[in-house]
Amino acid sequence: MNPLISAFRFTALPPETNAFRAAIKDFLKSDMEDSAPDVRARSWMGFSAAFSKKLAARGWVGITLPKQYGGANLDALSRFVLVEELLAVGAPVGAHWIADRQSGPLILKFGSEAQRRFYLPKICAAEAFFCIGMSEPNAGSDLASVGTRATRCANGWRLNGRKIWTTHAHRCHYMIALVRSSGEPQQQQEGLSQFIVDLSLLGVTVRPIRDLTGDDHFSEVFFDDVLLADDALIGTEGEGWAQVNAELAFERSGPERVYSSIVLLEHWINCLRRGPDAAVHAATIGRFTTHLATLRNMSIAVTAKLMNGASPALEAALVKDIGTEFEQSIPVAIAAAISMNPDAAVDPALYRTVAYLSQIAPTYSLRGGTREIMRGMIARGLGLR
């Protein structure tokens, strides 16, 4: 059988995760503040440092990191369960999200012992929030053409350039930035390195950007002669491209590529259960249920591969593309359904939630790499490029 297809092997979550799941549910019942569905629909873009700290107090930030660095030493499937439960209720996980998902594992994998000791306990305590500095005004899909440059100077590096669309940069402590440390932009993947940039340093300017819904989750970040110490370099100089790609496997395969519209779907189902129109929409609900269960199984299959030390970048791209298509189809169907009959009353919160998602859903297939880029990666994996 084609190896890409057979990579999606059905994997059941181990029964031990049931108790963990129950504990998370209890925590969410007692410690997550009630908020309206259109607020919870912000999903992993919702930012609450206070919530992240509460989660960290339970030991649930950076749970896959080793105990000696403040983690819980749990496996990736346990993290899957944690993340699934958080996303299912629309918990505001944005503050610690990036550090938990990819910066922590990246520092563990490529960082020096000193870097691990410095950053990882802060991540696990929800005291260090991270953002991803990949995109630039002239380097979007063509990420390898980044122009921000780190040049050697006495005691370290001098950083100049600019990043954009950096999620929560204006609320984070650190950015892991992909920059050019040697060579010219035409050399593409060569000469790139990753640096941990303390965003409080002199010469860093962060300007939030407002989106069409009125939110300001992303930012523009300017570096003007920012002086970085030697140990700001993470991993190996010149290996930035390979490191970023390992990071992207974590970024693309998780349940957040399936659950972004789940708060809306759950709220609609609740409204239907209370109202007279359930029968009309049962088939639509059935289709979403089928797709959700299937995508979840695909995401678990990729997570199991991550757990075994593989870097399933290709499988992750596949899940991201089909998962975001599902997420985007939900507001489309629900907006049509609730306005099928202009005489019928519409739940006001449902109306606001579907409106929010209709506006924001296009970003699902942009952030983390666009639809066309994912399909190109899959084609490469199929041996077509």
Contact residues for ligand FAD, defined by CB under 6 A = 131-135, 140-141, 165-167, 218, 363, 366-367, 369-373
Compare residues 43 and 64 and give the one whose CB is closer to ligand FAD. 43
Any bridge partners for residue 198, and if so which?
174
Residue (of 341, 336, 239, 254) closest to 295 by Cα position: 254
Residue (of 355, 344, 358, 347) closest to 271 by Cα position: 347
Residue 366 contacts which entry, ligand FAD, another protein, none (Cβ below 5-8 A, type-dependent): ligand FAD
Output the smallest distance, CB 288 to another protein, in A: 8
Contacts of 331 (CB under 8 A, 6+ apart): 261, 264, 354, 357, 358, 361
Residues that bind another protein (CB under 8 A): 1-2, 4-5, 7-10, 12, 21, 84, 88, 259, 262, 265-266, 269, 272-273, 278-279, 281-298, 301, 318, 321-322, 372, 374-376, 378-379, 382-385
Residue 156 contacts which entry, another protein, ligand FAD, none (Cβ below 5-8 A, type-dependent): none
Residue 21 contacts which entry, another protein, ligand FAD, none (Cβ below 5-8 A, type-dependent): another protein
Q: Kindly tell me the burial class for residue 105, based on how many C-beta atoms sit within 10 Å of its own C-beta (0-12, 13-18, 19 or more).
A: buried
Output the smallest distance, CB 135 to ligand FAD, in A: 4
Token pair 């979403």 is found at: 288
Output the smallest distance, CB 310 to ligand FAD, in A: 24
Quote the CA–CA distance of 301 and 315 in Å, as a whole number: 9
Compare residues 131 and 304 and give the one whose CB is closer to ligand FAD. 131
Helix axes 313-338, 278-307, angle to 10 degrees: 170
Residue 202 contacts which entry, ligand FAD, another protein, none (Cβ below 5-8 A, type-dependent): none
Compare residues 77 and 108 and give the one whose CB is closer to another protein. 77
Using only the alpha carbons of the chain, give its radius of gyration: 21
Residue (of 246, 259, 294, 274) closest to 106 by Cα position: 246
Output the smallest distance, CB 8 to another protein, in A: 4
Output the smallest distance, CB 289 to ligand FAD, in A: 27
Compare residues 10 and 230 and give the one whose CB is closer to another protein. 10
Compare residues 146 and 314 and give the one whose CB is closer to ligand FAD. 146
Judge contact between 13 and 82, C-beta under 8 A: no
Compare residues 145 and 294 and give the one whose CB is closer to ligand FAD. 145
3-state secondary structure at position 104: helix
Residue 135 contacts which entry, ligand FAD, another protein, none (Cβ below 5-8 A, type-dependent): ligand FAD
Output the smallest distance, CB 219 to ligand FAD, in A: 9
Compare residues 78 and 103 and give the one whose CB is closer to ligand FAD. 103
Residue 290 contacts which entry, another protein, ligand FAD, none (Cβ below 5-8 A, type-dependent): another protein
Token pair 């399909």 is found at: 375
Judge contact between 101 and 248, C-beta under 8 A: no
Residue 329 contacts which entry, another protein, ligand FAD, none (Cβ below 5-8 A, type-dependent): none
Output the smallest distance, CB 259 to another protein, in A: 8
Token pair 């918990």 is found at: 91
- Enter the DSSP assignment of 254: S
Q: Where are the beta strands (DSSP E) in the chain?
A: 130-133, 149-153, 156-167, 174-180, 192-198, 204-209, 218-229, 233-234
- Paired sense of beta strands 204-209 and 218-229, if any: antiparallel
Quote the CA–CA distance of 73 and 292 in Å, as a whole number: 29
Buried b or exposed e, range 198-211, using 16+ CB within 10 angstroms: ebeeeebebebeee
Residue 367 contacts which entry, another protein, ligand FAD, none (Cβ below 5-8 A, type-dependent): ligand FAD
Output the smallest distance, CB 369 to ligand FAD, in A: 6
Output the smallest distance, CB 364 to ligand FAD, in A: 8
Compare residues 329 and 359 and give the one whose CB is closer to ligand FAD. 359
Compare residues 224 and 372 and give the one whose CB is closer to ligand FAD. 372
Quote the CA–CA distance of 237 and 100 in Å, as a whole number: 24
